[in-house]
Amino acid sequence: MQHVHRRVVHREVAMPEAQPTFEDLGQPLGEVTFCVVDLETTGGGPDDTITEFGAVKVRGGEVLGEFQTFVNPGQHIPGMIQKLTGITDSMVADAPALDAVFPTFLAFAEGTVLVAHNARFDIGFLKRAAERLGYPWPSFPVVDTVALARQAMLRDEVPNFKLGTLAAHFGTSVTPSHRALDDARATVDVLHALLERVGSFNVFTLEELGEFTHYVSKERRAKRILADHLPYAPGVYSFVAELPDGKGVPHKQVLYVGKSRNIKNRVRTYFTAAEGRARMDEMVRIATSVQATVCRTELEAEVLELRMIAAFEPRYNRRSKYPQRQHWLKLTEEPFPRFSVVKSPPKDAAAFHFGPIRSRNAIEQLLLALYDTVPIRQCNTRLNATKPSGACALAEMGKCVAPCQLSVSKADYQELLGQAISVLGGDLRPMLSQMGSRISQLAGMQRYEECAELTHRVEACVYSVRRHHRMRSLRECAEIVAARQTDGYGTGPGWELHVIRRGQLVGADFVRVGESPLPAAEALAATASIAEVESAVPKLAEEIERVADWLEQPGVRLISIDGDWAWPLHAGANEPYVMV
């Protein structure tokens, strides 16, 4: 397997794995309080209502309490329903109304996990009742014993998953009778029998139970063991497969790279219904192992993820399939230079270049904004300094000074070109003034679609100029050492420390509160990679943006800086349009 050269380094102090918390591990099923509920109703339609509540509260196999009451539905109970449940109009005539019963049930069920057989029916009625009566619906976790049985039982064990069928199969202490409390008691026994079953699938927490009730192929679920050795810590993980090469020799191939603040918990989700992407299902089936690298800070994880994706080009990462393409503007070398789009900056660092720019469309919008501001040439024809050639339509429209006809001197043309370079160099005011005037004129003529087009063009130009200077300012800083206080990553609050050289992260560390970050920062800067980073490497563009995002967060403190981290005065986002 190809190895990634990691330039991110930290002190020679092993970072202890974060101690798993109950939040990491989940809530053990033996400590969960379940409220098993069953309702009888006047029917299954949206206008039907509840006629009887039955609920049993249990924890660790022990019954904590029961709740049962009739409810006056305020309407006739259909004969078919009376025959099915045995509940007649006379039985509910003197019963309390739903508005008197419902708050009592909410108090009984408070803090529990609701369980129902075919939960969509019962929970649906409860939610409608809350809405009609003006109660906010509590965010009860819900377990459906039908869904649980479908996953935990073999297909040839029972002909169907009706409550009566499961009760008979498991030999419940109470036989379901279409009466609320009896059915709730039977569902309790079914629930306990199913919970015993799911233990063989390594389901021991409420969170795992919720995942288990959703359909996932047995092959995919069986691969959960791939996450067993992973740490409860922030960092980068990669799914790896041993696949034959062209000669049939097995070799390791990285399939997918990701990052997380909790590697183990994140990787576990790939083996559950929580991960619904089709390509991830295919990736998990191919994978034979999962590797992880613990990182000291979240920024270190982001940078390492980008570098690993660039190095391995994993086929299941969208960024590998659709890599971020960069474009640059440079000036041609001829008597009357023009802007040319290239895929890499000039090798001569002294030559004019602008970028990187993310897309071809962004370049087109940027150039159109420049051409609207300064009438420089747009054609690709190579011009002669002494021999005139035919002019194009742009010259006839006054949108080009027509150097092709030698109607402008080289010195005057260079002055115009300097104005365009000045806009790219950070002074957006001429472009904003001219474009703002044009937008105002179009708005006055009610040509709003053209206004929107020009507004989009201005925004694209401002964004590209800001991005260029944001990245350039970091690339031109020889070194920045900065710190930021954070809540930590399972080890308690502390300080993130980063060493950045030429816009590239070369050192990362984490110091807990109570320790002085300054000595750690000095040690980190001393041990960080001394390799110089080229001042304009296109593949690092996204990394530089991530570094800039971190540096610009509130609370970041500069410990030391070698260089000028600054933007041109008029290249900011708040430059106003000059509307006249």
Q: Which residues are catalytic?
A: 178
Give the integer Cα–Cα distance in Å for 551 and 500. 10
Q: Which two tokens stand for residue 472?
A: 């350039």
Phi, psi of 235 (to 5 degrees): 160, -155
Please say whether the beta carbons of 56 and 66 come within 8 A.
yes
Assign 368 to helix, strand or coil.
helix
| Among candidate residues 66, 71, 76, 77, the one with its CA nearest the CA of residue 95 | 71
84 to each of 42, 104, 173, 232, how far by Cα in Å? 11, 27, 21, 52
Give the integer Cα–Cα distance in Å for 496 and 143. 41
- Residue 203: what residue type? V
Give the integer Cα–Cα distance in Å for 129 and 109. 15
Give the integer Cα–Cα distance in Å for 232 and 559. 31
Please say whether the beta carbons of 423 and 465 come within 8 A.
yes
Instruction: Return all residues near 281 (Cβ < 8 A) that are at least 6 apart.
Output: 217, 220, 275
Please say whether the beta carbons of 7 and 529 come within 8 A.
yes
CA 359, 365, 369, 371 torsion-angle sign: positive
Q: How far is CA 416 from the centre of its chain?
A: 45
Give the integer Cα–Cα distance in Å for 519 and 564. 24
- Number of neighbours of residue 171 by Cβ within 10 angstroms: 8
Number of Cα atoms under 13 Å in the Cβ half of residue 296 = 24
DSSP annotation of 35 reads E
| Among candidate residues 461, 501, 475, the one with its CA nearest the CA of residue 357 | 461
**b (16+ CB within 10 A) / e for 527-538:** bbbeeebeebbb
Phi, psi of 290 (to 5 degrees): -130, 125
| Among candidate residues 1, 457, 69, the one with its CA nearest the CA of residue 243 | 1
Tally the residues of the chain.
580
Number of Cα atoms under 13 Å in the Cβ half of residue 23 = 5
| Among candidate residues 355, 566, 356, 561, the one with its CA nearest the CA of residue 478 | 561
Give the integer Cα–Cα distance in Å for 510 and 517. 9
| Among candidate residues 551, 530, 536, the one with its CA nearest the CA of residue 330 | 536
Instruction: Return all residues near 386 (Cβ < 8 A) that are at least 6 apart.
Output: 406
